[in-house]
């Protein structure tokens, strides 16, 4: 079980990291309605989040898509620097693609923003209790993977870095190199380098085959 402020007779202190002010404000209002939960600080970037750790939160709720950094990179950093802090990833990205990556990065749970508000609080309580939180459908999906072979070679996919994984995902969704660069706040040259590395690791000969592979991979999830 994660140590938290409730064990000390005060509300569990929560840090919210999201680059959309309306999400931060909405989550703060929601969680502060519960007597045992309290948002102690908010952040719109990885840099702000690391600075906000001075408020000593018991839990960090982190979005994957941050303007200046990958939320997964932030999760990894928080897990390394603050091993006792509970981490819940709250994201608009499909959990079938990112939940496993988030858990490997050090998160204790993954929740999509489309979920009803009561699920948010349930997820927080599950994680604070020391459990891993995933949606029921994601639990079923993980169970199926233990008994059935995957359509795509996940062994190859596992060779990719977190950033390469994100680039492959966006390629499969139909985004151009320029659009991917804008979404990840990186230069076109950097995205081209990631594309080249992906093709090499997956033994894909050209850009057209890379796009075909990315689309088929997403459809197989």
Q: Tens of pLDDT along 32-46?
A: 999 999 999 999 989
Strand intervals (E) in the chain: 12-17, 37-43, 59-62, 86-91, 109-112
Q: Where residue 147 falls among pLDDT bands split at 50, 70, 90?
A: very low
Instruction: Evaluate if residue 146 carries a pLDDT over 80.
Output: no
Average pLDDT over residues 102-126: 86
Residue predicted with more confidence, 179 or 218: 179
Q: Tens of pLDDT along 87-102?
A: 999 888 777 778 878 8
Q: Distance between CA atoms of 221 and 150, rounded to whole angstroms? A: 8
Q: Tens of pLDDT along 148-177?
A: 434 445 567 878 888 888 889 888 877 888
Average pLDDT over residues 3-11: 65
Least confident interval from 9-13, 111-115, 143-147, 193-197? 143-147
Delineate the domains of the chain, giving CATH numbers in brackets: 5-142 (3.40.50.2300), 154-220 (1.10.10.10)
- Cβ atoms 4, 37 nearer than 8 A: no
Question: In 3D, which of 9, 7, 27, 8 has the Cα closest to residue 17?
Answer: 27
Identify how many contiguous H helices and E strands the chain contains and give both numbers.
11, 5
Q: Distance between CA atoms of 210 and 176, rounded to whole angstroms? A: 12
Average pLDDT, the chain: 84
Query: Pairing between strand 86-91 and 109-112?
Result: parallel
Q: Distance between CA atoms of 91 and 193, rounded to whole angstroms? A: 26
Average pLDDT over residues 103-124: 85
pLDDT value for 48 = 94
Instruction: Evaluate if residue 116 carries a pLDDT over 70.
Output: no
pLDDT value for 170 = 84
- Helical axes 207-220 vs 188-202, angle rounded to 10°: 70
Question: Is the entire prediction scored with pTM above 0.85?
Answer: no
- Cβ atoms 114, 92 nearer than 8 A: yes
Q: Distance between CA atoms of 31 and 117, rounded to whole angstroms? A: 10
Q: Tens of pLDDT along 174-207?
A: 788 888 888 777 899 999 999 999 999 999 999 8
Q: Distance between CA atoms of 207 and 25, rounded to whole angstroms? A: 42
């Amino acid at each position: 079980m994660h140590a938290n402020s409730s064990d000390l007779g005060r509300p569990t202190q929560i840090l919210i990291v999201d680059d959309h002010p309306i999400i931060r404000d909405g989550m703060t209002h929601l969680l502060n309605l519960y007597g045992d939960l309290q948002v102690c600080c908010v952040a719109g970037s990885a840099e702000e989040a690391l600075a906000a750790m001075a408020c000593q939160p018991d839990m960090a709720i982190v979005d994957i898509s941050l303007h200046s950094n990958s939320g997964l990179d932030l999760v990894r950093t928080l897990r390394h620097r603050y091993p006792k802090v509970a981490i819940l990833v709250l994201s608009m990205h499909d959990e079938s693609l990112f939940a496993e990556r988030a858990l490997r990065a050090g998160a204790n749970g993954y929740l999509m923003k489309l979920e009803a508000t009561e699920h948010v609080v349930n997820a927080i309580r599950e994680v604070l209790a020391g459990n891993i939180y995933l949606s029921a459908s994601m639990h079923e999906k993980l169970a199926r993977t233990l008994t059935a072979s995957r359509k795509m070679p996940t062994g190859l996919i596992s060779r990719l870095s977190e950033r390469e994984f994100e680039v492959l995902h966006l390629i499969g969704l139909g985004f151009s190199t320029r659009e991917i660069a804008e979404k990840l706040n990186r230069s076109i040259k950097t995205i081209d380098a990631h594309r080249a590395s992906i093709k090499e690791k997956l033994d894909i000969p050209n850009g057209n085959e890379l796009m075909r592979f990315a689309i088929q991979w997403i459809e197989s999830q």
